[in-house]
Chain A
Amino acid sequence: MVRFDAQLSTDKPISIAILAMGGQGGGVLADWVVALAESQGWMAQSTSVPGVAQRTGATIYYVEVMRAREGAEPILSLMPTPGDVDLVIAAELMEAGRSVLRGLVTPDKTTLIASTHRSFAIVEKERPGDGIGNPTVVIDATDFAAKRTIAFDMEAIAVKSGTVVSSSLFGALAGSDVLPFTKEMFEATIRAGGKGIESSVKAFSAAYDRAKAKSNDKVSALPTKRFDALPEKAGHPKLDRLVSRIRSEFPEEAHALLFAGAKKVTDFQDTDYAEDYLDRMLRLLALDRKVGGEERGFTFTVQAAKYLANAMAYDDVIRVADLKVRESRFERVRKEVGAKADQIVYMTEYMHPRMEEICGTMPKAMGLFIENRPKLFARLDKMVNKGRRVQTGTVFWFLGLYMVSALRGRRRGTLRHAREMQHLDAWLKQATDLASTNYPLAVEILNCRRLVKGYSDTHSRGLSKFDRVMSALPLLAAREDGGDWMKRLRQAALLDEDGVALDGALKTIATL
């Protein structure tokens, strides 16, 4: 076949790239676009590269559509060309970012439709700290790279309608006016499909309206935290006393965190314990004032308010039992699993007590007595150290947990409490000793409490990281930038489980 043609046509197809992860219905969406175009007498071609990506990885579906021309078959491409894509649909925020990185989004021609919800990648989830990628970086990039961005939480719209995100993406596509088809034609495409039509149409319409309204969702780099204002009345004289102490004895900068802290330690133990908390805080505040904390916005006091509360409300067996048996928890579980009123829900807890925890819950002398006899300890450990499935919804198991939680009254006499307080005092001493000579470093020492968390092995790993970070203190104490280095150490400690990054950071510090 030989063809001659002096004049080349300037017709171009509309190119559409869909970036989705497994289970998001990217294939369905591509099929809808093809069906819609074909139903209007257009030519359409779609293709994809699923491969192993169908198992949780990200996949690109690529569609080209164009108006049919009598007697001429268009040659359509099987893959997007960077810089030459009219429409990019990203089923998740980071996938929108990926489409920009691949050069698919350009200011001269690309409309970007992105759902702003997050589905975290494994590297974000597995960090011992906070590994979540900053969403504002993505929004900055997409706003810069796209001709127009339609970005809102389409997943939420889909879930609300009982369907998957492909339906709301299709709605946003209809609302974007990139394809010259009416809303009715889009809807007819969904209706011509198989199952779940009503919920799909519902999500489609809601997203269509949002896209038409041109109101994008704002994303924020920092998680939103709830700071309650100090109440006038807290419902009990003892609580009122705590509130009024915070109000009268502390600077306003610290009020919100002190209130949160007082709430937490009261919940952990009782109001007396909260009084202890405020007493300790008062001493720290006095020091803070003495070393000129006022000019620094009482940073030392504010951070102490946060981490002292966490340190005092440590994670022990009593607390776990207490949290597990509460009525509010029973209700929350029902809500979380979406149980309907006529359904019955039972919980099974996966617990694995070891002799260490049992000893910790004993009165100090008794706990030490057993711990100092390794053979006895090992024998007892053999009896208790195994996984237990605790069915909290049944009377027998409930009573068990209920009794453990009732040990709360004696908590301050336990071995664990003694150890926690010892650790707490040592930690605070390190911070207070340095407050006058190196204020920023003292604040960072307080912040390092973040490293101590978890139970059992996790807890000991946290403690050991805390110790390793603190081991750098002699090297940093005299340095003006000691606080910055301490912060870097802490960040490194939260990067991986074994502390490989932390070791590297410590080596760097040793060479300073």
Chain B
Amino acid sequence: MAERSFAREVEDLKLGDGDIFRGEGILAITKALLQSGVSYVGGYQGSPISHLMDVLADAKDVMQDLGVHFETSASEAAAAAMLSASVMYPIRGAVTWKSSAGTNVASDALSNLSSGGVTGGALIIIGEDYGEGSSIMQERSHAFAMKSQMWLLTPRPNLPSIVEAVEMGFELSEASNTPVMLQVGIRSCHVHGQFEAKDNKKPAYTLKQALENPISDVNRIVLPPASFVHEKEKLEKRWPAAVEFIKSRKINEYFGPETGDVGIILQGGLYNSVMRSLQQLGLADVYGNSRIPLYVMNVSYPMIDDEVADFCIGKKAVLMVEEGAPEYIEHTLNTLLRRRDIQTAVSGKGVLPLGGEYTTPVLTKGLKTFVETYDRLLLGNQPPIPDPTHVLQDPKIKALAEVVPPRPAGFCTGCPERPIFAAMKLVEKELGKHHVSADIGCHLFSILPPFNIGGTTMGYGLGPASASAFNVEADKRSIAVMGDGGFWHNGLATSVGNAVFNKQDGVILVVDNYYSAATGGQDIMSSRAINPRRKTNNSIVNAVKGIGATWVRQIDRTYDVAKMRDTLREALTTKETGPKIIVASSECSLNKQRRVKPEFAKAVKDGKRMVKERFGVDEDVCTGDHACIRLSGCPSLSVKHTDDPLRDDPVAAIDNTCVGCGNCGEVSEAAVLCPSFYRADIIHNPTGWDKFAARMRAAVIGWLQRRRQSKRVLFAG
């Protein structure tokens, strides 16, 4: 069950010939897969391709009609291995993940796959998480394409081009017996646009047929001597076949005039930005007309030598626009021109930055330098280039930099991970700071304010493994944190198994929030919901015990800060050796609220007695030290100034987005903060007994209150 329901988007998957599809890029890719007669789809969720997985998960009936098998793979490696179905059989398959993180995980299977080659079309859709808003290391998937000899498609970032790339990708894969990667950026995954749909296609050859008519061929197995033959095949057969296909189908595109003194070669994904830059330089217009010839590489690998050479011949210089480091294409381009002795100058990272995102201003600057160097007259009467520098240099704006606060990502309102890290902070106060190996997932936000907990992060499910060197005699133990997503992805064997086997004397904290929460709340092995199409409810505790862990504690309500703190303290101080594993479980608040809110509203509407909890702060009691906030960071726990002239500092305040998780109260109690927090239980549709009890209580309490009031001499207001 994902965070978002895609029931409406699923309808778009049913569109037929001539219908106009309107929506996000990633949904267009999903539709394109079905139009291509794909037989099976797998993948691992993550930005920016989560929606592809989520839509397919919600599109059960469409998939059934078409006979498409869809699987939420356990990891990217599992997804890549799934493509093995296309090795021997003419079956089209597609898998997807976030790159380059996922490609790293999948690379073992990808190497084997591309060595043996494929019969049916095998498409790997990678969402490149790069540039602004990226959550991972900045690397290029291009390297994987080169080292394994897979082809890499980088279509222009508009829906018709992306959809065509999917369809063409399968054909290219089949024509060259090679798996094909299709790379889309974060922005193109989320771009809203439209394209003309086609009917969905049932697979020509089904998985069932394949399963019932198995084929084996030792030449496709990655074992010597076959693997030596594969290498030869890759270079002598598959590569030329791919080049021929790409040429004949004109996958790469040309824009602008046929000739010119200078030209630009670019990856397809950068097309819109390059065009906007040319427009700002007065060299193009918004409708795609350009004064400079452009060669757009919708296929970034392999390079089509003849096309590129022809484009360069007769030009004084070409600019290679290639994002990210290192500049693989530029290297190849230079090699090509030297080999063929073409005297066209190549400009690239010389005028453009080595790394970083190629935004419009960055490109404009580089393009301008390039044109000024080689074809100055072209620039002519150029319009003023948009430039906010004079604004930014004004003292008024500079003063702003001091005031505008950063907004680091943090735990959501009601997040069950908040009390875990509050407890860890409390233990830190008692036992001192510890080395904390973090992992990938929402819990990594604990490394940011206000918790500031965590030392390193090495990869998904690798938190405890990354603490393995610290398995030595010392006065402190290491703490490793891992989410339930990471645990099932890689952590059980690589981290917990490793720790058990090597008797790693540290603490392993598994944060179990019932979902793969950071990627949008997909179900995983230990999800508690009943998912009719998957086997959920598999216990993490049983799993770790199953591979030999002995000191295992389960905490079933992470909001119990005192218990959390005591368990952590025990784990850090117990005499027992080997890994100390704490499984801290409570449901992800985003998903819980999505589930519970409508149920609650409905019950109230039906007249049922329901109790809603939320927290508040008595502002007279609060003294404005904000210790509670330093142990929470909850979005609904904020501050406000009072109108009391005797007070200087703002007091804590809880807004109406509070979901009543209880963290505020538990923390102030466990940390002995202050008594200003209260929980209010609001009884909707009270029963007769509720009303009676409330009346009785109000009578006694009210009498006492009035009695005191009448005796006291107080100023009004």
Residues of A within 8 A of B (CB): 1-5, 8-13, 21-23, 30-31, 34, 38, 44-53, 55-59, 66, 69, 72-79, 81-84, 94, 97-98, 100-101, 103-107, 119-130, 132-134, 137-138, 140-141, 144-145, 223-228, 234-236, 238-239, 256-257, 260-264, 266-267, 270-271, 306, 309-310, 315, 320, 323-327, 329-330, 333, 336-339, 342-352, 354, 387-389, 392-395, 398-399, 402, 450, 453-458, 461-462, 494, 497
Contact = CB atoms under 8 A, between A and B. Distances in A.
A137 B400 contact: yes
Nearest to B643: A226
A76 B289 CA distance: 13
Contacts of B272: 75-78
B680 A333 contact: yes
A47 B48 CA distance: 12
B285 interface: yes
Interface stretch (B114-122, B319-327, B406-414): B406-414
Contacts of A55: 409-412, 442, 445
A144 B397 contact: yes
B476 interface: no
A448 to B, nearest CB: 11
Contacts of B157: 78
A121 B645 contact: no
A394 B276 CA distance: 68
A83 B392 CA distance: 10
Contacts of A138: 400, 403-404
A269 to B, nearest CB: 10
16 contacts: A1-B253, A3-B256, A53-B133, A75-B288, A101-B401, A223-B643, A333-B678, A344-B690, A350-B677, A350-B679, A352-B668, A352-B670, A455-B672, A455-B674, A455-B675, A458-B627
B284 interface: yes
Nearest to A325: B705
Contacts, number: 419
Contacts of A387: 562, 669-670
Interface of B: 22, 47-48, 129, 131-135, 157-158, 186-188, 190-193, 253-258, 271-273, 275-276, 280, 282, 284-289, 291, 359-361, 386-389, 391-392, 394, 396-397, 399-412, 442, 445, 449-450, 518, 562, 614, 616, 618, 620-621, 623-627, 629-630, 633, 635, 637-639, 641-646, 648-650, 656-657, 664-666, 668-675, 677-684, 686, 690-691, 694, 696-697, 700-702, 704-706, 708-709, 712-717
B273 A456 contact: no
B408 A34 contact: no
A347 B704 CA distance: 17
Given A79-B359, A238-B713, A348-B681, A323 B191 contact: no
A90 to B, nearest CB: 11
A320 B621 CA distance: 6
A434 B271 CA distance: 72
B683 A345 contact: yes
Contacts of A228: 717
Contact of B635 (A50, A56, A324): A56
A351 B670 CA distance: 10
Given A47-B191, A52-B135, A329-B618, A130 B410 contact: no
Contacts of B641: 130, 132, 223-224
B182 to A, nearest CB: 18
B191 A46 contact: yes
A236 B712 CA distance: 11
The 5 closest A-B CB pairs, nearest first, are A103-B388, A83-B386, A49-B133, A223-B641, A387-B669
Contacts of A127: 626
Contact of A94 (B404, B624, B657): B404
Given A47-B187, A132-B650, A83 B387 contact: yes
A376 to B, nearest CB: 21
